[in-house]
Amino acid sequence: QVTWLHCCLEFCGARTMHRQSHSASMSVLASSQPAAVVAQQLSDLLLAFPSAAAGGVQWSVLAKKYEERYRVRLDVQALGHSSALAAATTLLWEVLRIVDKQDTDNPVVGIADALALAPRPGLLGCWPSLYQSLCQIVLENGVPDGTPPVSAVSCGSTVRSCSLLLSQVRPLLERYWHVNFDESGLGFLNEVGTFVRLKKLKHLL
């Protein structure tokens, strides 16, 4: 029993030292990261959230996923910012859309409309550009389903309905949306930062 207790104490002590060492290493790495690198990494990560193009992402969720992915503690004060809102405004200025800034320590951030409409394979924060291409694909390559055209009163145009086989969509996405479209690597981060993998194109649609 004494030997077992002694081993347990040594094991627990080792785990404590490991956690302390890990926290210290994360702190050092955070202070040594160039601001330009942090900004690019945050931008790429934000683009992995489809909600970034709609209701936005809480800074706390974005920061947590950043630390998990890059093994670096995101300390906004160490980077020279007084609050999370100030850090977001400075680091993400090229892509940022502020959704809610009421809580300066946990603002809700999103991506600018122009960025959401730019094709970026593997980053489903740009789903509006994908949706736009899908609509164009179906309208230009689909078969009219026989339903009479419907007048869209609000915009003064006529809406027609077309159908297209799912098997035809993937090669057309490579032509209409992006040549590097790959349905096998589809996935996204949901509102709480959990990664969701899409196994098939139909799941994406």
- pTM across the whole model: 0.77
Name the residue among 116, 130, 114 with its Cα closest to residue 204.
130
> Tens of pLDDT along 166-178?
889 999 999 999 9
The runs of H, that is alpha helices, within 33-162 are 35-46, 59-70, 84-91, 113-116, 127-141
Q: What is the pLDDT of residue 149?
A: 59
> Tens of pLDDT along 81-99?
999 999 999 999 989 999 9
40-44 average pLDDT score: 93
Which percentage of the chain shows pLDDT scores above 90? 55
Q: Residue 152 is which amino acid?
A: A
Least confident of 116-120, 129-133, 156-160, 197-201: 156-160
Measured CA to CA, the distance from residue 22 to residue 176 in angstroms comes to 46
- Give φ, ψ of 47 to 5 degrees: -70, -10
